[in-house]
């Protein structure tokens, strides 16, 4: 049975109105556009569901249970929850030890702390031995306004070169719930970017959508522009495509929730269609993420469409309110529309 039929515990709640969004802190501000439904803690609830049928699943965190939605798991399974304190290296080492004993540890922290503080421990203790550890990290890319100390704009670049590591970047609540179940069943180390708290819900409109590790999914077809996107940028490209279509621009969207292994065959199939501008869109630095992975795939296979990237700049970003920062750095819906129209002109 698909996860899309099993998500009653985290059905979309009421839409977020503008006044509520303005009062939300910069760290946990919702990414949902006005009127878009949201789902509360989809990762936490999905992990509880997975753990009900697999008693080997355990949860660990580095003093961030509440901020990675792992507190949902703690409440359901307190005897399977481990609070490691502010020690990310210890967190990853403990997860490796539990995996060696046959458990399926889900280790949560912020993406900056996993990629920067704990990199060597993940590499040597987990990835080299191909251990069954799931690393699930909040605040990926520009999803907090707290500045460079918390903005993981380079995590994909850091982790893409690590052998054995699967990398997942879900779009919304449904994607997150389905991906959680999928990585729980997958044997091997996984790094998943986490949208936490009240997570936008957009893929429920695509009734046949089902997350699969290593598979890209075509969400809509169009003959003028092809967006290849991941994470919440798929939500943004869907919004942009709706507006662009009103202006006569036909837009296709290929959602790529697995960054590694990359679904090269599907990307090449859709990027090979003649006459379309191909644009990658990601919540990550222009260096080392989805855009460069797609560009390398196209070049190595002799596919040469007109190609552009929408991504964060190669610099340390400002602190501030997320809507302002997303406009400033070109990843808001309005910025995507404006940039796309300029490239088509």
Please identify which of the residues 49, 88, 239, 282 carries the catalytic annotation. Answer: 88
> Is 88 in the active site?
yes
Structure token pair of residue 13: 């709640």
Positions annotated as catalytic residues are: 88
């Amino acid at each position: 049975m698909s996860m899309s039929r099993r998500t009653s515990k985290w059905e979309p709640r009421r839409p977020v109105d503008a006044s509520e969004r303005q009062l939300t802190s910069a760290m946990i501000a919702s990414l949902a556009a006005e009127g878009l439904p949201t789902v509360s803690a989809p990762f936490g609830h999905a992990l509880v569901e997975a753990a009900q049928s697999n008693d080997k699943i355990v949860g660990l965190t580095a003093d961030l249970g509440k901020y990675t939605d792992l507190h949902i798991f703690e409440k359901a399974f307190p005897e399977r929850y481990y609070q490691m304190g502010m020690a990310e290296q210890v967190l990853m080492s403990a997860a490796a030890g539990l995996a060696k004993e046959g458990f399926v540890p889900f280790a949560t922290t912020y993406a900056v702390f996993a990629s920067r503080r704990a990199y060597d421990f993940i590499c040597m203790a987990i990835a080299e031995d191909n251990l069954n550890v799931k690393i699930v990290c909040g605040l990926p890319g520009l999803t907090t306004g707290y500045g460079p100390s918390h903005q993981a704009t380079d995590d994909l670049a850091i982790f893409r070169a690590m052998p054995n590591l699967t990398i997942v970047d879900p779009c919304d609540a449904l994607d997150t719930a389905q991906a959680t179940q999928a990585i729980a069943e997958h044997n091997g180390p996984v790094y998943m970017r986490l949208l936490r708290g009240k997570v936008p819900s957009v893929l429920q409109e695509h009734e046949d959508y089902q997350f699969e590790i290593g598979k890209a999914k075509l969400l809509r077809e169009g003959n003028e522009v092809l967006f290849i996107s991941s994470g919440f940028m798929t939500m943004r490209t869907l919004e942009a495509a709706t507006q662009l279509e009103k202006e006569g621009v036909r837009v296709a969207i290929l959602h790529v929730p697995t960054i590694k292994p990359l679904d090269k065959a599907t990307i090449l199939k859709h990027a090979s269609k003649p006459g379309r501008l191909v644009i990658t869109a990601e919540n990550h630095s222009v260096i080392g993420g989805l855009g460069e992975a797609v560009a390398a795939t196209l070049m190595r296979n002799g596919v040469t469409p007109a190609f552009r990237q929408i991504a964060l700049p190669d610099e340390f970003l400002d602190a501030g309110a997320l809507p302002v920062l997303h406009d400033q750095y070109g990843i808001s819906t309005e910025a995507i529309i404006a940039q796309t129209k300029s490239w088509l002109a």
